[in-house]
Amino acid sequence: MQDDYISLISNKGDGKELQTRCVYSGYPFKQWLVCKESAVELKRTDVTHQYLSFVYDRCQHTGLLLSHSEEEGALLSVFTIQKDGLSNKTKSSSRRMLFRPNGIFLGDNHVILYGAEVWSSSDRGFTFRQIFSLQGEVVTDVLSCNYNAMLVLLTDQGSIYLMKTGLERFARLNETLNSKTFLLFDHMGILMAVELDSTKPSSLRYRIISVNKLIQEHDIAFKRSIALQYYTTEYVLLHEFVPDIEVSSSFRFHPHHVGKIFSLRRHPGASPCSLKDRRACAGK
């Protein structure tokens, strides 16, 4: 297709000895051009960028360049694609995130950065919001299905996370895959796990993963005390108690809590309160 682009990235060495290079080409792939950071970033001597991924956005005719530096973390830059290569200036200020992504997933109307954290952009890469972070595992692959607007994120430990296109929510499936299994959607949006059949040489076997049965309730309970202040007869304010010695630590309140169900628990051993979303990935 005339709007197809491919890219190649090479990284050798570490630290100050790092040699990183990115090239791309458009159909019919006869001319290769260099993809590089903006002129402003290239002039800096205090940061060494390692290129991770470059993807073409056909909706805006732009190139999204993802790089990482030990000094400042991930950097995503959006460039206008010209006949002689990328423009020297980005379309807007580049976005920085303090983690190392594994790659970019470009959907119909959003961009996903994935790794030990997952970030989403609904404006084609100009602004990002963190969706969730992981401990002891990283997202290595993202699978999408246009039929049901579902995104599946697979980790190196075999965990499966789900997202809905355009919604900044997620849920985890009560299912763990081995390293030799891969996922795919069929034409009706049914999620399947495919692996080699150990009983039959040169054969594959597959099984259907029931998303509705395996989806787990997304519980983001608070470990600290929560105080309710009645503002009106219809509104209350929620105050999170943070001791002075923990002021610098992270807070649990987050924009992702919007739309969740707030419930109090009184039985012994339970968290003071929790926020739950029983409709995660249901599009509601």
Please state the domain extents for the chain: 1-94, 226-277
Sequence-distant (6+) residues with CB within 8 A of 216 are: 171, 172, 173, 174
The confidence band for 282, taking pLDDT boundaries of 50, 70 and 90, is: very low
Distances (CA, A) of 76 to 16, 38, 55, 88: 21, 11, 11, 15
Give the pLDDT band of residue 2 (cuts 50, 70, 90).
low
- Name residue, tokens 């029983």: 278
pTM above 0.75, yes or no: no
Compute CA distances 147 → 22, 52, 185, 269, whole Å.
34, 30, 9, 43
* pLDDT, mean of residues 122-140: 90
Query: What's the pLDDT at 281?
Result: 35
pLDDT exceeds 60 at position 254: no
Q: Band of the pLDDT at 124, cuts 50, 70, 90?
A: confident
Lowest mean pLDDT among 4-8, 137-141, 222-226: 222-226
- What is the distance between the alpha carbons of residues 42 and 170, in angstroms, rounded to a whole number? 37
CA triplet 72, 101, 167: central angle to 5 degrees?
115
pLDDT, mean of residues 56-60: 90
Q: Write the DSSP symbol of residue 161.
A: E
CA atoms within 13 A on the CB side of 105: 22
Lowest mean pLDDT of 24-38, 72-86, 101-115, 226-240, name the range. 226-240
Q: Return the pLDDT at 273.
A: 46
User: What is the pLDDT of the chain when averaged over all its residues?
Assistant: 82
Whether the per-residue pLDDT at 221 is higher than 90: the answer is no
In this predicted structure, what is the pLDDT of residue 50? 92
**pLDDT exceeds cutoff 80 at 279:** no
Give 198's pLDDT tier (boundaries 50, 70, 90): confident
Cβ neighbors of 248 (< 8 A, separation 6 or more) are none
Whose tokens are 């999170």? That residue is 240
The band of 148, judged by pLDDT with boundaries at 50, 70 and 90, is: confident
The pLDDT of residue 223: 61
The pLDDT of residue 171: 87
The residue assigned the tokens 């509705």 is: 212
Do 79 and 125 contact (CB within 8 A), yes or no? Answer: no
Mean pLDDT, residues 235-261:
66
Q: Which position has the higher pLDDT, 68 or 283? A: 68
For the segment 168-189, the average pLDDT, to the nearest whole number, is 87
pLDDT (mean) for 118-136: 89
User: What is the pairing mode between strands 236-240 and 139-145?
Assistant: unpaired
The pLDDT assigned to 119 comes to 93
Provide DSSP, 25-81: EETT----EE----HHHHT-SS---EEEEEEEETTTTEEEEEEEETTTEEEEEEEEE
Compare 283 and 32 and report the one with higher pLDDT. Answer: 32
